[in-house]
């Protein structure tokens, strides 16, 4: 059982796309998966065709009106979801320094029921994002293969290693970088990855998610790529990543 957090403070590099499509790929392989949508924009919730203004959701869980196990919503893709809600913004305001482990406390009783819990973290340096990091066994940093995102990776790694690991006993945590929006036919994307590999070496996953409009279509049709077009390069990439996660879980 592993908790995997998709986190980077920068926005728009593929946190939601990666968490939803990884969840779908893991379910295809017979794994029990819970997806936690920590982002108040509720993109992952919408992606899986759930209404973001309905109960139960994570707001109810954080305020204690519902227990986590009763707040889980089931989707037709067999992915279980702790859904987001606009009111999560109020939780962000209400969380105080020292509340970094709220989410971990919420997830702990659910762990025996799942093989993987995937967290779609919000962008930005704020309390909910820190909760997403603190709850994780494995932090996957989705980075688009461009300079700006690589700076974002450095920022997140610094934060985790220098602040979180210093402050809390989180030394079991591991970090991996997943390159997204990769354009193999350009010289830019491979150069960015080659440079990043000099710094972070084996922490960079060999599988790269290709740049493709299939992901926009997938979100638009509220269907993960593995169901929309299982033979598509993008679907295969997440399938390979899911295999890596399963192998990682077993070691």
Scanning 91-99, 108-116, 182-190, 237-245 for contacts with other proteins by CB under 8 A, the matching segment is 91-99
Binder of other proteins out of 87, 154, 205, 236 (CB under 8 A): 87
Q: Which is nearer to other proteins, 63 or 161 (CB)?
A: 63
What are the start-end ranges of the H helices in 29-57? 43-47
Number of residues that bind other proteins (CB under 8 A): 13
**Closest of 140, 145, 102 to residue 120, by C-alpha:** 140
Q: In the Cβ-directed half-sphere of 209, how many Cα atoms lie within 13 Å?
A: 27
Q: Which is nearer to other proteins, 99 or 229 (CB)?
A: 99
Binder of other proteins out of 99, 155, 174, 243 (CB under 8 A): 99
Buried b (16+ CB within 10 A) or exposed e, 115-138: bbbbbbbbbeeebbbbbbbbbbbb
Q: Which is nearer to other proteins, 131 or 180 (CB)?
A: 131
Compute the distance between CA of residue 67 and CA of residue 110 in angstroms, rounded to an integer: 10
Binder of other proteins out of 42, 71, 82, 91 (CB under 8 A): 91
Q: Which is nearer to other proteins, 93 or 220 (CB)?
A: 93
What is the nearest approach in angstroms of other proteins to the Cβ of residue 62? Answer: 7
| Residue 91 host element (H or E) | helix 88-94
């Amino acid at each position: 059982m592993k908790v995997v957090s998709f986190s980077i403070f920068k926005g728009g590099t593929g946190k939601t796309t990666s968490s939803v499509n990884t969840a779908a790929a893991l379910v295809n392989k017979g794994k029990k998966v819970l997806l936690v949508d920590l982002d108040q924009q509720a993109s992952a919730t919408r992606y899986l065709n759930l209404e973001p203004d309905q109960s139960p959701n994570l707001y109810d869980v954080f305020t204690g009106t519902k227990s986590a196990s009763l707040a889980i919503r089931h989707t037709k893709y067999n992915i279980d979801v702790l859904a987001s809600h606009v009111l999560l913004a109020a939780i962000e305001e209400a969380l105080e320094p020292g509340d970094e482990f709220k989410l971990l406390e919420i997830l702990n009783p659910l762990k025996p029921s799942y093989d993987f819990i995937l967290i779609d973290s919000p962008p930005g340096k704020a309390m909910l994002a820190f909760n997403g990091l603190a709850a994780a066994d494995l932090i996957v940093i989705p980075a688009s293969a461009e300079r700006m995102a690589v700076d974002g990776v450095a920022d997140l790694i610094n934060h985790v290693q220098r602040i979180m690991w210093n402050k809390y006993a989180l030394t079991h945590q591991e970090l991996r970088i997943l390159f997204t929006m990769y354009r193999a036919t350009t010289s830019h994307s491979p150069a960015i990855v080659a440079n990043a590999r000099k710094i972070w070496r084996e922490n960079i996953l060999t599988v790269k998610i290709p740049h493709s409009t299939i992901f926009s279509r997938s979100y638009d049709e509220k269907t993960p790529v593995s169901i929309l077009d299982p033979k598509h390069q993008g679907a295969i990439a997440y399938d390979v990543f899911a295999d890596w996660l399963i192998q990682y879980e077993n070691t």
